[in-house]
């Protein structure tokens, strides 16, 4: 079985600095593997363990992304394909079309895995776009995934229900974090990851089809929050009574 896993080198939001004018300092921000993409890699490895084959990591991003790809290789993926592009200026559709072009070039694949949404910009759009572009079945928010013969059986977690669906291979799926517990690579695996093949494709040469006007970011500013920060002290009974009093005074609690 050939398994493609799409992994994003995402800005680490915990490290992101805001300048004195309230603007995020994106250039020079540290990046790491998008949180839930670890679950996608883990699921790919789990499928490989059950069905043999190989796991190939696909990333669209700057060459710094190799750091993240090596982490996926250390977890156990077999090789990586990096499509170099300036991800700060492309929208979800361009990202998906670059991924689709690279996946087609290295294909065919039986299963293509993504996560439900990236930890930095969480659009949740790249996975279904990929499904559509590859002409494959797509199923999102998988919390369980099994392949039997030429059919994938997926448990999808929706807002108020669990849906079981079946789809013919090849299938594109996005996973939720509950699907598995991602492994940590060992030191030896981390050292060996450097020797695994990592191909680089130039995004400009993977000319994606179809011209359109991309979605773009107009401006960014730090989230403002003005809260009172009143700490209420005393025994549980005293503190609770003071809190209830304060909330009534605020007019947010009807008696």
Partner 1 sequence: MSGAVWSYSENESVSNEVASAAADVAKGASAEPVVLEIGAVRAGVRAPGAKLLLKGPATSDVPPEVAAEAIAKASKQLQPAAILIGATRYGREIASRLAVKLTVGCLSEVSKLSADGNALAGERNAFAGKVVAKVSCALPAIATVKVGYYAAVESAGTAVTESDVGQVNPLVKVVSREKKAAGAVDLRSAKVIVSAGRGVKKKEDLPMLEELAREMHGALGCSRPLSSDLGWLPEEHHIGLTGVTVKPDLYLALGISGQLQHTAGMKDSKVVAAVNTDKDAPIFQASDYGIVGDLYQIVPAIRKALASRR
Ligand X SMILES: Cc1cc2nc3c(=O)[nH]c(=O)nc-3n(C[C@H](O)[C@H](O)[C@H](O)COP(=O)(O)OP(=O)(O)OC[C@H]3O[C@@H](n4cnc5c(N)ncnc54)[C@H](O)[C@@H]3O)c2cc1C
Site for partner 1, residues 81 to 100, rule: CB under 8 A: 91-93, 96
For ligand X, the closer CB: 93 or 149: 93
**126-134 and 92-106 are packed helices; what angle lies between their axes, rounded to 10 degrees?**
50
Contact 98, 60 (CB under 8 A): yes
User: Which 149-188 positions form the footprint of ligand X (CB under 6 A)?
Assistant: none
Can you tell me the distance from the alpha carbon of 223 to that of 187, in angstroms, rounded to the nearest whole number? 39
Check residue 250 for interaction with partner 1 (CB under 8 A).
Answer: yes
Q: Which of 19, 52, 205, 213 binds partner 1 (CB under 8 A)?
A: 213
Q: Tokens for 107?
A: 């294909």
C-alpha span between 131 and 112 (Å, rounded): 9
**Dihedral sign from CA coordinates of 42, 46, 47, 48:** positive
Angstrom CA distances, 216 to 72, 87, 130, 151, stand at 29, 12, 20, 38
Which of ligand X, partner 1, none has residue 95 at its interface (CB below 5 to 8 Å by kind)? ligand X
Note if the bond before 223 is cis, omega within 30 degrees.
Answer: no
- Choose the stretch contacting ligand X; rule: CB under 6 A; options: 29-37, 46-54, 192-200, 246-254: 29-37
Of the candidate residues 166, 199, 200, 204, the single one contacting partner 1 (CB under 8 A): 166
Provide the minimum distance between the beta carbon of 199 and partner 1 in the complex, in angstroms, as a whole number.
26
Query: Least distance to ligand X from the beta carbon of 80, Å?
Result: 11
Number of chain positions touching partner 1 (CB under 8 A): 86
134 binds ligand X (CB under 6 A): no
- The contact pattern for ligand X, residues 111-130, with x = CB under 6 A and - = no contact, is ---xx-xxx-xxxxxxx---
What is the C-alpha separation between 30 and 13, in angstroms, rounded? 9
């Amino acid at each position: 079985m050939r398994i493609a896993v799409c992994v994003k080198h995402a800005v680490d939001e915990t490290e992101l600095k805001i300048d004195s004018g309230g603007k995020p300092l994106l250039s020079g921000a540290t990046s790491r593997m998008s949180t839930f993409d670890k679950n996608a890699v883990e699921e790919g490895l789990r499928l490989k363990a059950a069905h043999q084959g190989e796991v190939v990591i696909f990333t669209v991003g700057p060459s710094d992304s190799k750091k993240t790809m090596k982490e996926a290789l250390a977890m156990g993926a077999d090789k990586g394909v990096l499509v170099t592009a300036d991800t700060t200026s492309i929208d979800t559709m361009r990202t998906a079309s670059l991924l689709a072009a690279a996946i087609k070039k290295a294909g065919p694949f039986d299963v293509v895995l993504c996560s439900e949404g990236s930890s930095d910009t969480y659009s949740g759009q790249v996975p279904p776009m990929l499904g559509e572009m590859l002409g494959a079945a797509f199923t999102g928010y998988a919390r369980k995934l099994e392949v039997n013969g030429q059919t994938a059986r997926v448990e999808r977690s929706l807002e108020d229900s669990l849906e079981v669906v079946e789809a013919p291979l090849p299938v594109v799926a996005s996973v939720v974090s509950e699907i598995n517990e991602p492994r940590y690579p060992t030191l030896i695996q981390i050292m060996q990851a450097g020797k695994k093949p990592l191909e680089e494709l130039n995004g400009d040469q993977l000319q994606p089809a179809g011209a359109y006007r991309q979605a773009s970011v107009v401006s960014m500013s730090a989230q403002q929050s003005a809260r009172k920060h009143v700490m209420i002290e005393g025994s549980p009974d005293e503190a609770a009574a003071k809190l209830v009093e304060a909330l009534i005074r605020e007019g947010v609690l009807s008696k």
